[in-house]
Amino acid sequence: MTSASAAVKVDLLSDTLTRPTRPMRHAMASADVGDDVFGEDPTVRALEERVAGLLGHEDALFTPTGSMANQLGIRLHVQQGQELIADSLAHVLRAEMGAAAVLSGISSRSWVARRGLLDASQPLDLMIPDGGAYQVATRLVVVENTHNFGGGTVQPLEELKRLREATQPRGVAMHLDGARLWNAHVATGVPLDTYGRLFDTVSVCLSKGLGAPVGSLLAGSAAHMQEARLWRKRFGGGMRQVGILAAAGLHALDAHLERLADDHERAHRFAEAAHAAVAASIDPATVQTNIVVLDVASAGWASADFVAQAAARGIRLYPVSGTAVRLVWHLDVDDAGTDLAVRELVPLLERGPQTS
């Protein structure tokens, strides 16, 4: 058997692994730059203005990471000793290292959402807009779209609208963790600004499906972005001649947005093959975008063992729990890579751990 350290042939660990294409590198090399801390980088400003327009907001702010964009958005709406609420699998709660509490003194509570999908009644029942002297006041609801650990699920537009209609008059803001909002837009055809205008602030990521090496943006009102710029500096995110990175984002929006549909199709194709082998492992109807969460326990596997066996075959996966693994399609996984994943992983799933 090939060792677990076999060379990686297909990397389905995450869509953060994409490498800049040659045209993207050319755009980066030829970018016009300036000092962004002073607001003098023309390529950064072009990117910020473009993304703000796409999302239906007045302005946007370029940040080095999606976590920083989210934390800036949170900090704008919630004061120390107040709370945000989000679903229990939300990236801001599960994967940002407790930043809201550590950096901003913000409490968090959560509800449990099946596959990460929003049912507006859950946050509405949970939130306490005015806690008085006895309970922590809810100031923000965070929604993730698409939902990473939910399996790339797209939030129902009607539920987003229902949440907005109920929170706004009660003084509770809404922040969209839209790291993969591009995928939701391509999968559904819902315009980006239709999603964006439902939220007070929106974060989007350039370094996942769009294939840029670095960068996210936070969009919102001009006043909010002016305040966010100050907090970005306080958080250590002030940058200088980063038009080189912003140019990658502009190229990505031009060249890589619509092709996200290819990632979605390949993910769905894999899901159909896995379902045909072990029906309980995945329902292909739930695979809306580029992420597949495979229930390997349904075939008798522990996720760590399945990941190790996949690695021995040159395929990297991410264990999301003791029973499930995540596969993410992206710019660097083509049809041939998808076919290889099907050939290697589906029989492994079907045979189970006893004969592998």
E strands, 145-194, in order? 173-178
CATH number of 31-255: 3.40.640.10
Quick: pLDDT tens for 203-212: 999 999 999 9
Quick: pLDDT tens for 121-156: 999 999 999 988 999 999 999 999 999 999 999 999
What local confidence, expressed as pLDDT, does residue 2 receive?
A: 38
What local confidence, expressed as pLDDT, does residue 355 receive?
A: 61
Grade residue 1 by pLDDT with cuts at 50, 70 and 90.
Answer: very low
In this model, does residue 8 exceed pLDDT 50? yes
C-alpha dihedral over 295, 300, 306, 308, to 10 degrees? 150
CB 348 within 8 A of CB 313: yes
- Exposed (0-12), middle (13-18) or buried (19+): which is 174, by Cβ within 10 Å? buried
Domain 10-17+259-351 is found in CATH 3.90.1150.10: yes
Percentage with pLDDT > 90 across the chain: 97
The whole-chain average pLDDT of the chain stands at 96
pTM of the model: 0.95
In this model, does residue 46 exceed pLDDT 80? yes
Grade residue 354 by pLDDT with cuts at 50, 70 and 90.
Answer: confident
CB 58 within 8 A of CB 196: no
What local confidence, expressed as pLDDT, does residue 356 receive?
A: 52
3-state secondary structure of 240: coil
Please, which residues bridge with residue 153 across strands? 147
All CATH 3.40.640.10 domain ranges of the chain, comma separated, are: 31-255
Quick: pLDDT tens for 217-263: 999 999 999 999 999 999 999 999 999 999 999 999 999 999 999 99
- Exposed (0-12), middle (13-18) or buried (19+): which is 114, by Cβ within 10 Å? exposed
Q: Residue 54's closest CA among 247, 186, 146, 159?
A: 186
Grade residue 325 by pLDDT with cuts at 50, 70 and 90.
Answer: very high
All CATH 3.90.1150.10 domain ranges of the chain, comma separated, are: 10-17+259-351
CB 93 within 8 A of CB 258: no
